[in-house]
Chains A and B, each alone.
Chain A
Amino acid sequence: MTRKQGNFFVDAAFQGAASGVTALYGPSGAGKTSIVNMVAGLMRPDVGRIIINGRCLFDAARNIDLPVEKRRIGYVFQDGRLLPHLSVRANLAYGMHLTPVDRRFVNFDQVVDLLGIGTLLDRRPARLSGGEKQRVAIGRALLTSPALLLMDEPLASLDAVRKAEVLPFIMRLSREFSIPILYVSHALDEILNLSSHLVIMQDGGVRAYGYLEDLLSRADLQTCFGPTESGAILSTIVENHEDAFGLTHLRFGDHILKVHRLDTARGETVRVRIPARHVAVALEPPGGTSFQNVIPGEVREIAAHCAPFVDVRMDIGCPLWARITRQSCQELNLQVGLPVYALIKSVAVSLGPSNECR
């Protein structure tokens, strides 16, 4: 997809994944919603091109501009936007009935089942909770059998509990239907849970796009993720479960990472994110420590971008970031090339899905 809008501030060019979830990440005001609206046809770009899996929706040069209703784009809005005068069932069926029968590949019962909204069908939207509304909104968009599903911060208006209620459904959705999803969010944990591809937006432009893990490990992009969000992503394999302590051992390279018990089978691939602020650095292997994971490595880079702290990138078979104070950096006399030990608290990992798309 290539897209520009001259009079406004959005000037973006990126290519998403042909299937699976592509996340559009950036601070508010970066132009994420504008991008999504242009893809949906609710906003008209001045110049540029929008192509989805080979189908041209918009091309200023060739004077192509499909109207919204002909684009076959499912759009899940931040605020749900269910039609208040229709029942949940009628809301779900609204788009489905407008899709020609031979083009439908999403089944009504399957969606109702997947989203767990079977008991809500006869209610009106006013009687639904925030999480239920979003699930119905997702189902409604899905039932148009779209060529692309747009999700504009579908969880932003929900509290943590409701978020946890909806997120698993979106995860299942991307696995069960082969519909590419463009997922807008400024919450990194959602993106880590969902997506394989990432587009980083900044000030109306695309800062970078590509595989999630590559981008999240890049030093020059760490500032994009905010002061508390920077960290590294590791692809690991479930080695075994240690039930006595409620831990799971994950293997990456020659090392084992101990994390809290996971509900995954042995041998499965799991993506792990280790925030820089949960990693400490030592010159020698420490004795008598509560750190469960002590992994030898080598300092590769020291980046000083947020006042009292420095971010140290180590190579432990893959990149790992540690955020330490400038003072400790000086006292340890850390330098590029110095062999060190990375100390990772076992509780400090957040998990994403396996990265099958690669």
Chain B
Amino acid sequence: MDFLKLSPIELEALRLSLWVSGWSVAVSMPFGILTAWVLARMRFPGKNLLDGMMHLPLVLPPVVTGYLLLVLLGRKGVIGALLYDYLGVVLAFNWKGAVLAAAVMSFPLLVRAVRLSLEGVDQGLEAAARTLGAGPVRVFFTVTLPLIVPGIITGLILAFARSLGEFGATITFVSNIRGQTQTLPLALYTLTQMPDGEMGAMRLCVLSVLVAMAALLCSEILARRFAARMRG
């Protein structure tokens, strides 16, 4: 039965991973939906540039993204120094930084899923809602948003999974500090470097699979509920 007992390191890593991934998804969701809407519906100069920038974390090596974050948002970084001086916020080497790294890395996945869903929404329905007296903001919240729920669910599960697995950008930006930034993958990596860490590593491995499966299951249930609702 010893195998099932988690050591403090592993327990901390699990808790921190869920915490960081949860925050990462929560923080990036409103921005992700907004970005997806802007990319799907608006036409403006520089749209391709925005689209490209948004996709960078997907194509860059994660370590590069992490390093860029460190340069920009570290205590001495261009933006990080301002954040510290004026708001007293420090992102480097703590859990907030880990959240940011995970959010940045998973952002493109979220945006892509939501955008795809948005492009599938019949704009005729939005026009119909406007003729019924709803302003653009109300139309967004009462028509567009409910109709892209499947896309949002998909985006959230992708972003959550990506945040859970985030390694390169996190270790570069916020390092591997136990209880602060040592998430599941980082803990797993640490255990594999230790002489008798195999059992712990195996346990974390199983845990990762379980968490991922649970997340998938949740999204599947939500998606089915939505489909059933639409069928009446």
Identify the A interface with B (CB < 8 A): 40-42, 67-75, 77, 79, 81, 83-85, 87, 94-95, 98-99, 123-127, 140-141, 144
Contact = CB atoms under 8 A, between A and B. Distances in A.
Contacts of B206: none
Give the interface size bracket for B toward A: 20 to 34
Given A68-B127, A73-B131, A83 B232 contact: no
Contact of A141 (B131, B138, B143, B147): B131
Nearest to A88: B232
A140 B132 CA distance: 8
Best-surrounded residue of B124, B127, B231 (most CB of chain A within 10 A): B127
A125 B230 CA distance: 8
Contacts of A127: 231-232
B131 A98 contact: no
B41 interface: no
B117 to A, nearest CB: 13
B132 A124 contact: no
Contact of B130 (A69, A83, A125): A69
Contacts of A79: 124
B145 to A, nearest CB: 10
Contacts of A140: 132
B197 interface: no
Interface in B178-232: 229-232
A124 B128 contact: no
Contacts of B125: 81, 83-84
B133 A75 contact: no
Contacts of A42: 127, 130-131
A251 B130 CA distance: 48
B146 interface: yes
A127 B228 CA distance: 12
Best-surrounded residue of B132, B143, B146, B229 (most CB of chain A within 10 A): B132
B230 A124 contact: yes
A144 B146 contact: no
A84 B230 contact: yes
Nearest to B139: A69
Nearest to A95: B132
A77 B124 contact: yes
A144 B132 contact: yes
B71 interface: no
Given A41-B131, A95-B131, 7 more contacts: A40-B131, A70-B133, A75-B131, A83-B125, A94-B134, A94-B142, A144-B132
Contacts of B90: none
Nearest to A145: B133
B129 interface: yes
Given A79-B124, A84-B147, A85-B147, A126 B230 contact: yes
Contacts of A81: 122, 124-125, 127-128
24 contacts: A40-B131, A42-B130, A42-B131, A67-B135, A68-B130, A68-B131, A69-B135, A73-B131, A74-B131, A75-B128, A81-B122, A81-B127, A81-B128, A83-B128, A84-B125, A87-B232, A94-B129, A94-B134, A98-B138, A126-B230, A126-B231, A126-B232, A127-B232, A144-B133
A99 B135 CA distance: 12
B232 A124 contact: yes
A205 B191 CA distance: 79
A124 B227 CA distance: 12
A295 B131 CA distance: 51
A52 to B, nearest CB: 14
B134 to A, nearest CB: 6
B131 A124 contact: no
